[in-house]
């Protein structure tokens, strides 16, 4: 298949996926919803890269791991400011509980921040080994999951 044909067929698949209006309702990237979704996706990408290195999916690269842990530790501080005081309209997968129980939500956000700080601290123990980093990364993943179970509608 030529590259063009491949592109066209991909485009067709995308169009098909969007044939129902609701499936394709776009999110304004500058809205609070758009901003937090972008950050969450970046968090997922970064944590998956770290997980991939520890689980052998990607080659373990010490400087890349340290840089990834540092950037994750910064990223996790940033989505919360994009949850407005009152739930916003649009394609949010946040449960109403985010706004009904902000104290618990903030607590779980804080737990995530503590876990990424722990992971970053663990990267100071040279030489780095995937084995030593597994537990702190598991804690980060558990912190993501704990909040999603309570506050995210898949």
CB under 8 Å, gap of 24 or more: what pairs does 47-55 form? 47/72, 47/137, 47/140, 47/141, 47/144, 50/119, 50/133, 50/137, 51/137, 51/141, 53/130, 54/130, 54/133, 54/134, 54/137
Least CB distance to ligand HEC at residue 66 (A): 17
CA nearest 65: which of 144, 142, 123?
Answer: 123
Rg, Å, the chain Cα set: 19
Nearer to ligand HEC by Cβ, of 116 and 128: the residue is 116
Span near ligand HEC by CB under 6 A; candidates 3-11, 12-20, 39-47, 123-131: 39-47
137 binds ligand HEC (CB under 6 A): no
Nearer to ligand HEC by Cβ, of 60 and 80: the residue is 80
CA nearest 126: which of 58, 63, 55, 50?
Answer: 63
50 binds ligand HEC (CB under 6 A): no
Among 53, 54, 69, 112, interactor with ligand HEC by CB under 6 A: 112
Tally Cβ neighbours within 10 Å of residue 102: 13
Among 31, 71, 78, 92, interactor with ligand HEC by CB under 6 A: 92
Among 58, 66, 67, 108, interactor with ligand HEC by CB under 6 A: 108
Span near ligand HEC by CB under 6 A; candidates 18-26, 51-59, 101-109, 119-127: 101-109
Round to whole Å and give the CA distance between 151 and 154.
Answer: 10
Which residues of this protein are in contact with ligand HEC, per CB under 6 A? 33, 36-37, 40-41, 43-44, 47, 92-94, 98, 105, 108-109, 112, 140, 143-144, 147-148, 151-152
């Amino acid at each position: 298949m030529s590259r063009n044909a491949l592109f066209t067929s991909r485009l067709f698949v995308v169009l098909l996926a969007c044939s129902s209006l609701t499936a394709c309702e776009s999110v304004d990237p500058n809205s609070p919803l758009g901003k937090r979704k972008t950050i969450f996706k970046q968090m997922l990408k970064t944590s998956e890269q770290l997980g991939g290195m520890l689980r052998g999916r990607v080659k373990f690269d010490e400087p890349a791991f340290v840089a990834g842990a540092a950037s994750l530790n910064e990223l996790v501080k940033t989505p919360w400011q994009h949850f407005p005081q009152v739930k916003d309209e649009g394609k949010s997968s946040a449960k109403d509980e985010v706004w009904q129980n902000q104290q618990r939500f903030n607590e779980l956000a804080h737990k995530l921040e503590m876990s990424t700080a722990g992971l970053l601290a663990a990267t100071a123990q040279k030489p780095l080994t995937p084995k030593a980093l597994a537990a702190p990364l598991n804690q980060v993943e558990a912190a993501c999951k704990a909040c999603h179970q309570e506050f995210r509608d898949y």
